[in-house]
Amino acid sequence: MLNSNRYLLGLTWLVAIFLVPFPFVQTLSAGLPAIYNQDKTMILFGTIAYSWMLLAMYISTRPKWLDRLIGLPNAYMIHGILSLAAIVLAYLHKSNLRSDGWIKLTGNWALYLFIGLGLYSMIFMAGWLTNRVPALRWIKQSLERVFKHEVSILIHRLNVVATGLIFIHVLLIPYIRQIVPFTVLFVAASLFVFGAYAMTFVHRRLITAKLINNVEIKPNVRQLTLKLHKHLDIYPGDFVFLSFPKVKLMKEPHPFSIVNAPSDSNELVLAIRGDGDFTRQLATIQVNESVVINGGFGMYQSVINENHPDNLMIIAGGIGIVPLLSIVDGNPDLKTTIFYSVSNENNLLYQDKFDQWEQRDNFRVFRQIGRFNQEAIANRLPKNTQKTVVLIGGPDKMGTQWIKNLRRLGVRRSQIYYERFSW
């Protein structure tokens, strides 16, 4: 499955880059009057940019089928890179074509909005980028004192306004409206995406759970227990988006991993570290508060289901252990070895769970303060790694380094899965 996941991710990129714009480009190119042939390339650049913006907007609705196909972190990376590429094409389109009146105004307003929001999002919304560029990470940490996460979400939504301006911009152009196949496709695709986006706000008003417990289990780590009002498609290792629709500044969904394997009791347990304004405010939420949950999302359990490994190895750092706890809970018959490291002993989570699991013949855990070195794990790798799957949870830098380490130890990339949680 890991090989197939990489194949599907590559295929998704091809679809996003080439197949999505193709019908727009084909219908517009076929119907474009010959008088505009000299501007054809720039006109098509604008068309491709709009099709990518529509796709990025659709991805922002977090379609579950796409998450189960390639994983939401990968989907968000496609969302971010396509948006930036669309801005570049839109700039070239605008710089090389002349227009007047409302056609010019709507196009210019949209482009300026996209450029401003693109710069803002590169700092505040693109964790996959800020984790790789230290300067951007420093700027983000400095400005977050002023621009809270909920404010960033609201600012980011101005992309919808900019996309709407482009929709109007295109329909104001007479020779474009006369190309009926393109216009029908353009309007239909736009209405579909705007409709899907609007439905996310409808779903966010549907109360799906109640908070039945809220306690601090470690310094700066809270455990929330939720009682679901209806069944949700959640697997071990998944994360869910959580929001409190009746609490000020907590109405925007945030992603958190589940601790327990979902069961017939319809209870979900979350362990959340207070890293931001939303998570720190969790201490003030009272029992019986209404909760909206959207999920589950994630691919850890899917990796296990489709690979049928004999051995499961887990490498986790700090709070990154949380989703992998539910993996152990949900797969009691699988031979499992865990390497769990924390910065200090007081940060070790759920030691009672590990004590219980150590009663199994097929379970081993190695816990320590500070990161494991390569040799410590190399000595405990199965002799035959062909039927081994390695799951990694923790900071992006740690996950990236362990992928390199494991590959040096002879573990194939297709046998390693790390779900980045940095977006």
Q: What is the pLDDT of residues 207-245, one digit of tens each?
A: 789 999 999 999 889 999 999 988 888 999 999 999 998
Considering the domain architecture, whether residues 243 and 376 belong to the same structural domain is answered as: no
- Of 188, 203, 218, the position where a domain reaches its end is 203
> Cα(251)–Cα(244) distance, rounded to whole angstroms?
5
Considering the domain architecture, whether residues 304 and 293 belong to the same structural domain is answered as: no
H-helix or E-strand containing 109? helix 101-124
CATH code, 214: 2.40.30.10
Over residues 354-369, the mean pLDDT reads: 92
> Cα(307)–Cα(415) distance, rounded to whole angstroms?
9
Considering the domain architecture, whether residues 196 and 227 belong to the same structural domain is answered as: no
Over residues 331-339, the mean pLDDT reads: 93
Give the count of alpha carbons within 13 A of 112, CB side only: 6
Considering the domain architecture, whether residues 174 and 112 belong to the same structural domain is answered as: yes
Considering the domain architecture, whether residues 175 and 76 belong to the same structural domain is answered as: yes
Considering the domain architecture, whether residues 178 and 95 belong to the same structural domain is answered as: yes
Residue 264 confidence (pLDDT): 64
Q: Whole-model pTM?
A: 0.88
111 to each of 87, 170, 190, 358, how far by Cα in Å?
7, 13, 18, 58
Over residues 387-408, the mean pLDDT reads: 90
Can you name the residues that pair with 5 across neighbouring β-strands? none
Average pLDDT, the chain: 89
Q: Considering the domain boundaries, does residue 423 fall inside one?
A: no
CATH code, 77: 1.20.120
| CB burial readout 190-219, b (16+ within 10 A) else e | beebbeebeeeeeeeeeebbebeebeeebe
Residue 130 confidence (pLDDT): 61
Q: Considering the domain boundaries, does residue 106 fall inside one?
A: yes
Q: Considering the domain boundaries, does residue 413 fall inside one?
A: yes
Who contacts 394 (Cβ-Cβ below 8 Å, separation ≥6)? 315, 316, 317, 318, 319, 320, 321
pLDDT band for position 1 (50/70/90)? very low
Least confident of 31-45, 133-147, 170-184: 133-147
Considering the domain architecture, whether residues 84 and 165 belong to the same structural domain is answered as: yes
Expressed as residue numbers, the domain containing 347 is 300-418
Over residues 86-108, the mean pLDDT reads: 95
- Of 175, 203, 231, the position where a domain reaches its end is 203
Over residues 341-365, the mean pLDDT reads: 91
Residues 367-389: pLDDT tens digits?
Answer: 999 888 888 888 888 877 888 99
Contact 133, 397 (CB under 8 A): no
Q: Considering the domain boundaries, does residue 337 fall inside one?
A: yes
Considering the domain architecture, whether residues 189 and 83 belong to the same structural domain is answered as: yes
Residue 139 confidence (pLDDT): 67
Which range of 171-185, 357-371, 389-403 scores highest in mean pLDDT? It is 171-185
Considering the domain architecture, whether residues 290 and 304 belong to the same structural domain is answered as: no
Considering the domain architecture, whether residues 134 and 181 belong to the same structural domain is answered as: yes
pLDDT at 34 over 60: yes
Considering the domain architecture, whether residues 59 and 193 belong to the same structural domain is answered as: yes
pLDDT band for position 133 (50/70/90)? low
CATH code, 344: 3.40.50.80
Who contacts 233 (Cβ-Cβ below 8 Å, separation ≥6)? 64, 296
Over residues 26-39, the mean pLDDT reads: 95
Give the count of alpha carbons within 13 A of 191, CB side only: 6
- Considering only the C-alpha atoms of the chain, give the largest distance between any 2 of them, rounded to a whole number of Å: 79
Into how many domains does the chain fold?
Answer: 3
Over residues 151-176, the mean pLDDT reads: 91
Over residues 389-413, the mean pLDDT reads: 89
Considering the domain architecture, whether residues 406 and 388 belong to the same structural domain is answered as: yes
- Of 136, 171, 203, the position where a domain reaches its end is 203
Residues, the chain: 423
Q: Considering the domain boundaries, does residue 109 fall inside one?
A: yes
Q: Considering the domain boundaries, does residue 349 fall inside one?
A: yes
